[in-house]
Structure 1
Amino acid sequence: MPKSQPNVVIILFDDLGYGQFGCFGSDISTPNVDALAEGGARYNRFHVTGLCSPTRASLLTGRNHHRVGMGQLTESPQTSPGYSAHIPTSAGTLAQVLRNNRYNTMAVGKWHLTPRWERSARGPFDRWPLGMGFERFYGFLGAETNHWAPDLVSDNGPVAPPKGPEEGYHLTEDLTDKAIRLIQDQQQTGTDKPFFMYYALGAMHAPHHAPQEWIDRYRGQFDEGWDVWRERLVERQKELGIMPAGAEPSPRPEWVTPWEEMSPQERRLCARSMEVYAAFLSHTDEQIGRLTRFLAELDILDDTLIFVMSDNGASPEGGLFGSNNYHQVAGDHERDEQETLEQIDELGGFKSYNHYAWGWAWAGNTPFRLWKKFTWLGGTRTSLIAHWPNGISEPGTVRDQFCHVIDVMPTVLDIAGITPPAEINGVTQMDLDGTSFRESFSARETPSARTAQYFEMVGSRAMYCDGWKVTTNHVGPTPPLENQLIPGSPSYDTDHWALFDLNSDFAENNDLSAQHPEIVTRLVNMWWTEAGRNNVLPLDDGWLFRRNRRRAPQQPPRRWVFRPGGSPVSEFVLPPLRFGFTLTATVTAGESANGILAAFADWNQGWSWYVLDGRPVFVVKLFGRLYRFPAEVVLSAGDHTLSVDYRQVKGSGGTVVLHVDDKSSGDGRIAEDLPWFWQMGHPGLLVGRDQGFPVCDDYTPPFVFTGLVHTVVLEVPDEPPARPKAQASTGFAQALRHE
């Protein structure tokens, strides 16, 4: 006998392309997701915002992303209300509403709804999961993390992974273990309360990490390239009813290199990067299978409402040919093809922070054009699967209703019999923007509950109404590679609004703006009305480097004192090291001392200061290059004061000077400027030990200091030098600075 309120599980993928599930046409093995589709319903006209934080905000609040302050990523908040990165208390979350109506609420995985300067032990914790309606949380707060050695949080505090990668650790497996454990703990208490599990995967966001045995399964599968792969995908989509039989896919754009025109080395690299991605997806699918099998063992699968979706379309952030370390692409750094070829067997492994070529992103979004960050369908139309055997008729079929991520929360509340509350915790609530599509569960041919929706993401704009869609050809200034290669308008004043009849033109191929200027005018006017109503204005097409940036309420101090034994200190609260810094450690050393003094990040990008066989060493890993600076002396037993002094040099790079007991003991030069931001995939600064992967092969974490580290002091200049205009590049890493 089904309960009146079903359990709810939302499985949210990251950066997954529209056609990458098997049940949406791919030849990548996803049998467990496919089984959910076979037992439920697939929606082939489901839409999201086009980017991670905004989609998550809309999913969990049932409101448009700008209206709740999440018009962009939490890493780049602005003073404008639509881009504050602060979801207001008047926009209560699905978790808050369900918790107030008998549900236990739990979340695992990626959060990405906390402003960057609030991701530390000092809080505040209002915008952490437990402050927004979840009773339990296990996962990571930022945009991405290293799947072998992640930056983890449990409830309101950082934790280390339960084991190391050499012991078989992988984040997706860990998240699934925790999801199963949380559900088991709730179920075995004898409660009749339903639960809400928000299972937000780090997959398929880069880095694409997968166990080697999963990668080996795909050897050679993508050697024919993305053009052939996409053609076959279109055929399967039509066979499955995902794509209408008479529809045509968008053509290959000029900025995606034809496979046959690439060199053998380039084809080899790109094929391998897709093998790794496919392995990552299949491995993730297996973890979903573990979760659904557990629900079946508990005999609650049929009365659990499960949604499977992605936050946006596939990502192009690997650039033209992919990368073994996409910090280099993200930081606008020149790619070294020969270096990547030499590291090809490391793709997906411990020493990679990899991403595939953007030709695979284009193919993964078949049949649409463009990708993540754009309001063309390649960025905003993603796969949606709903599974609820006790409530969905005609299982295994495809629904073609137009729906949007803001509609998920109203649908869940409708099914659970809950009226959206007028207030939560004494705060009057804004109306939901979403509309329930529950009726489509039982009536496959029912008309779409949603007839209109605006879109805006990083300057790209679109408006949908009654089957018509207008979309701009706007291409913002960043990322630079897109700006250089993708044709389009760089200015709002010259944007062209293309018009498409999505009822007959599934993939936005035929621009009808010249034939129907009156429809264009009507929809563009609708867009401006919606923009005003939802706090979209003022427009800003910066990717992460944006005008009117909101400053942290508390600026980082210029002097920091650290002691061993504490949790990692997030880079998001530390000052930038780019313009210069001094590290000073007071230690008591024994004979032939060894161990970490202070370390940040790992061999993908970071720095470490340690003692090796009694000799202090400072190393920096930057854009694939290792800089190593050993001291000239070996420490004697006893007390010492050690320091590292870095000073930026006019032009590029900087100098490093080591001191032992106030005496110079070695120096050198770093040829490149230090980044504004090192990496997202690491917990932060550690003192007296390291965690995860090392910065270099001199040591293996934790490499605890064998003597005593009393304090490590970090000091940065009181007034950083004025930033030259040449440094005002809007690159991904540079934009994430502390202002």
Structure 2
Amino acid sequence: MTSTDKYIEMKVPAFILTGLLCGLLLQPVAAQTGPAHNRPNIILIMSDDMGYSDLGCYGSEISTPNLDSLAMTGLRYTRFHNMGHCCPSRAALMTGLYPHQTGLGWMTGTNFHLPGFTDELNEHCVTIAEVLKTAGYATLMAGKWHLSHNIHAGGPQHDWPLQRGFEKFYGILTGAGNYYDPASLCRDNTLITPLNDPEYHPQHFYFTNAITDNAVRFMQERPKDKPFFMYVAYTTAHWPMQAPEEAIEKYKGKYDAGWDVLRRQRFEREKALGVIDKDATLSPSDTHPWAEEKDKAAMARRMETYAAMITIMDQGIGKIVDELKKEGIFDNTVIVFLQDNGGNAEGTGFGGPEGETRPVVPKNAAALKPLGKDEVQYAINPPVTRDGKRVMQGKNVMAGPADTYLAYLKPWGNLSNTPFRKYKNFVYEGGVATPLIIHWPDGIKAERGAVRTQSGHEIDLMPTIAQLAGAKYPSVYKGNEITPVSGISLIPTFEDKPLPPERAIYWSHQANRAMLMGKWKIVSGGILNGPYGKWKTYVSLPWQLYDMENDRSEMRDLSAEHPDIVKKMAAMWDKWAHSTNVYPMPWKEVKPPLRPDYMSTPWEYPDF
């Protein structure tokens, strides 16, 4: 019997063991943090809709010298994970809980009035900002919130950043928007526009730069007698693919070779950099060959724009680092970088079934009236710019300007997620694997650029940061009982010490299910029936089993060879799901029709 088998046999559920371990690992690290004035500053940076291989230090051709420098003088984690979708990932990151424990098991768009499926953070969780604020930290945020349903002026604000522990906030409350006129732009508790913001007046507004500039300003204006925690949540590189022309021009021709060639090149660089195993498998291409692409110029332009967006974000991170160095606090600042999900295969802006070029709103005189200077932009996909241009979509539209609204599409998402399969929303590695960079010169004495292979998850960052800050995770906060943290501290990995070898990590999102424990991962795809967000029923596909030590790309399903492991892990997943508000789900499970022996049926298991 393997150690995994023995662990599965244990009667103590994995989530209880995790809670016990967290109680131990959340004790302050006095030797590292010391007195209050020596405690580290902490900057947590999250990017949006980027794949595992999109940074130079993880194999990309995209220029990210500032993140590369942090990685090559800090730590790179190669088996770290997120929740696979924007909103649940942010809930897990901010609270150290699985998203269903916070109420955000799906998204902020719908309140299903079920414990795990509301439209905002519940009162039984705390954010990192709330925990660190009680420990004397200044708490600052710039970027994307996406943890509250209400984003309108005059409505409730109890789940806006300032009400969840942050003292300063600049960013958007919703999940995406035009980079030149972002939806739900907000400063502290006031909704604003790029034109009427009383505190920020760049010559040319671009949201990524605005996030950076306000983050730097918050650092400069913070109280200097206390350490600070700053959460920088870039929307890069979530659709729409928009960037200034001069930034895109630097990548002109870079993607003319196409996704087939570039994917193989990234795969070889990943192996050389040590962020995948030397004997790793490149999952098969999930699209047509580049040679068969009929719209090469427009498709290459999408990826050129995507790369430009990432480089602009990296330049912003460089400005944050420069400010730390200027103030002489760089060495005692912990910088953490990760991504909220994998590369995105969504077809936003494709232009209908045939990809025709057309306006976002073909006919609607009221919607096509440009907003005035003081009118808040609420539309994620505005039909018209503030200067009156109609926003266009379609397969042949050239990405970049404010009057376009496009995703970079599945073929490039497949490149982003090299070498893994699938994308954002799925719980295969293409959807849930993320780079993790941790940089702290004063506290991490490991070899420069060291790689860490311990399996972890973004729920682990709350206990890690709390421990670094010497902060106590509460059992009661503002009169509410607080759910015990689900993650464990990563601090032992700073010295390359192992984490509990058989800890279990779980996923559930949109009927997709997975569990990772030791070298084994079980995965079950889900099919939701009906239009997006309007689902009534779902079908669960059979559990698959993968050996993640020898098959990280999840290409060889071993479920038939080890049915006992599948059965036991599936039972653990089910017990976890019932204990963390995954159940009841808002959708009813239905069984797929059986294939009769003597007649055909149109229903087939898709290739998940």
Shorter-chain-normalised TM-score: which range?
0.7 to 0.9
User: What does 1:251-266 align with in structure 2 at a 5 Å threshold?
Assistant: 251-253=284-286, 256-263=287-294, 266=295
Instruction: Name the structure 2 match of 1:679.
Output: none
Distance 1:327 1:238 in 2: 42
Cα distance, 1:491 vs structure 2:
4.9
Greater mean alpha carbon deviation, residues 118-127 or residues 210-219? 118-127
User: Structure 1 residue 49 and structure 2 residue 83: aligned?
Assistant: yes
Instruction: Name the structure 2 match of 1:506.
Output: 552
1:642-666 deviations in Å (ceiling 9; x for gaps):
xxxxxxxxxxxxxxxxxxxxxxxxx
Instruction: Name the structure 1 match of 2:333.
Output: 304
1:394-450 deviations in Å (ceiling 9; x for gaps):
221111110011100000111122231222223222211110011101x22534567
Larger-Rg structure: 1
What is the letter of the counterpart of residue 258 of structure 1? P
Is the CA contact 2:96–2:462 (under 8 Å) kept in the aligned structure 1? yes
What is the letter of the counterpart of residue 539 of structure 2? Y
Distance 2:303 2:457 in 1: 29
Cα distance, 1:120 vs structure 2:
1.7
1:9-51 deviations in Å (ceiling 9; x for gaps):
1111010111000000000000011111112111111111111
Distance 2:505 2:452 in 1: 19
User: What does 1:188-199 align with in structure 2 at a 5 Å threshold?
Assistant: 189=223, 191-199=224-232
User: What does 1:485-564 align with in structure 2 at a 5 Å threshold?
Assistant: 491-492=538-539, 495-540=541-586
Instruction: Name the structure 2 match of 1:127.
Output: 159
Greater mean alpha carbon deviation, residues 417-426 or residues 17-26? 417-426
User: Structure 1 residue 248 and structure 2 residue 294: aligned?
Assistant: no
1:233-287 deviations in Å (ceiling 9; x for gaps):
110000000000011121123xx22222222xx2222111101111111111111
User: Structure 1 residue 473 and structure 2 residue 509: aligned?
Assistant: no
User: Structure 1 residue 291 and structure 2 residue 320: aligned?
Assistant: yes
What is the letter of the counterpart of residue 504 of structure 1? N
User: Structure 1 residue 74 and structure 2 residue 108: aligned?
Assistant: yes
Distance 2:477 2:302 in 1: 47
Which one of 175, 199, 215 corresponds to residue 143 of structure 1? 175
Cα distance, 1:192 vs structure 2:
2.5
Cα distance, 1:163 vs structure 2:
7.8
What is the letter of the counterpart of residue 62 of structure 2? I
Distance 2:396 2:177 in 1: 24
Distance 1:410 1:449 in 2: 18
Instruction: Name the structure 1 match of 2:450.
Output: 397
Is the CA contact 1:50–1:313 (under 8 Å) kept in the aligned structure 2? yes
Distance 2:406 2:507 in 1: 30
Provide the secondary structure at the position in 2 that maps to 1:208: coil
Report the CA distance shift for 1:507/1:341 in structure 2 as closer, same or farther (over 3 A): closer
Report the CA distance shift for 1:475/1:363 in structure 2 as closer, same or farther (over 3 A): farther
Is the CA contact 1:403–1:449 (under 8 Å) kept in the aligned structure 2? no
Is the CA contact 1:321–1:358 (under 8 Å) kept in the aligned structure 2? no
Cα distance, 1:509 vs structure 2:
1.1
What is the letter of the counterpart of residue 257 of structure 1? H
Distance 1:407 1:166 in 2: 37
Distance 1:540 1:240 in 2: 43
Distance 1:421 1:341 in 2: 51
Is the CA contact 1:374–1:460 (under 8 Å) kept in the aligned structure 2? yes
Instruction: Name the structure 1 match of 2:128.
Output: 94
TM-score normalised by L of structure 1: 0.67
Instruction: Name the structure 2 match of 1:107.
Output: 141
Higher relative contact order (CA 8 A, sep 6+): 2
1:92-144 deviations in Å (ceiling 9; x for gaps):
111011001110101111000011xx222223111000110011111110011
Distance 1:230 1:291 in 2: 31
Which one of 471, 474, 491 corresponds to residue 418 of structure 1? 471
**Richer in strand (by share):** 1
User: Structure 1 residue 181 and structure 2 residue 181: aligned?
Assistant: no
Distance 1:284 1:302 in 2: 22
**Aligned length, in residue pairs:** 517
Is the CA contact 1:326–1:354 (under 8 Å) kept in the aligned structure 2? no
Cα distance, 1:538 vs structure 2:
2.7
Instruction: Name the structure 1 match of 2:269.
Output: 236
Q: Which runs of 5+ in 2 are unaligned?
A: 1-31, 362-379, 382-391, 589-608
Is the CA contact 1:399–1:445 (under 8 Å) kept in the aligned structure 2? no
User: Structure 1 residue 385 and structure 2 residue 437: aligned?
Assistant: yes
Which consecutive segments of 4 or more residues in structure 1 shift more than 6 A?
163-166, 319-326
User: Structure 1 residue 24 and structure 2 residue 62: aligned?
Assistant: no
Instruction: Name the structure 2 match of 1:407.
Output: 460
Is the CA contact 1:318–1:326 (under 8 Å) kept in the aligned structure 2? no
Provide the secondary structure at the position in 2 that maps to 1:82: coil
Is the CA contact 1:269–1:321 (under 8 Å) kept in the aligned structure 2? no
Instruction: Name the structure 2 match of 1:647.
Output: none
Which one of 446, 454, 457 corresponds to residue 506 of structure 2? 454
Distance 1:236 1:407 in 2: 28
Report the CA distance shift for 1:17/1:420 in structure 2 as closer, same or farther (over 3 A): same
Instruction: Name the structure 1 match of 2:364.
Output: none
Instruction: Name the structure 2 match of 1:352.
Output: 404
Is the CA contact 1:109–1:175 (under 8 Å) kept in the aligned structure 2? yes
Instruction: Name the structure 2 match of 1:691.
Output: none
Provide the secondary structure at the position in 2 that maps to 1:32: helix
TM-score normalised by L of structure 2: 0.80
Cα distance, 1:315 vs structure 2:
1.1
Instruction: Name the structure 1 match of 2:73.
Output: 39
Is the CA contact 1:17–1:365 (under 8 Å) kept in the aligned structure 2? yes
Report the CA distance shift for 1:5/1:509 in structure 2 as closer, same or farther (over 3 A): same
Report the CA distance shift for 1:342/1:503 in structure 2 as closer, same or farther (over 3 A): closer
1:435-493 deviations in Å (ceiling 9; x for gaps):
0011101x22534567201111111111111220110132333667xx9xxxxxx9535
Percent of aligned positions that are identical: 38
Cα distance, 1:195 vs structure 2:
0.5
Report the CA distance shift for 1:517/1:319 in structure 2 as closer, same or farther (over 3 A): farther
Report the CA distance shift for 1:325/1:29 in structure 2 as closer, same or farther (over 3 A): farther
Report the CA distance shift for 1:107/1:502 in structure 2 as closer, same or farther (over 3 A): same
Greater mean alpha carbon deviation, residues 412-421 or residues 32-41? 412-421
Aligned-residue CA RMSD (Å): 2.7
Provide the secondary structure at the position in 1 that maps to 2:116: helix
Is the CA contact 1:410–1:436 (under 8 Å) kept in the aligned structure 2? yes
Cα distance, 1:77 vs structure 2:
2.4
Report the CA distance shift for 1:450/1:112 in structure 2 as closer, same or farther (over 3 A): farther
1:319-347 deviations in Å (ceiling 9; x for gaps):
6979788969x99xxxxxx9847642xx2
Distance 2:45 2:147 in 1: 17
What is the letter of the counterpart of residue 546 of structure 2? F
Cα distance, 1:166 vs structure 2:
10
User: Structure 1 residue 371 and structure 2 residue 417: aligned?
Assistant: no
Report the CA distance shift for 1:319/1:287 in structure 2 as closer, same or farther (over 3 A): same
User: Structure 1 residue 84 and structure 2 residue 136: aligned?
Assistant: no
Instruction: Name the structure 2 match of 1:676.
Output: none
Is the CA contact 2:244–2:401 (under 8 Å) kept in the aligned structure 1? yes
Cα distance, 1:160 vs structure 2:
2.0
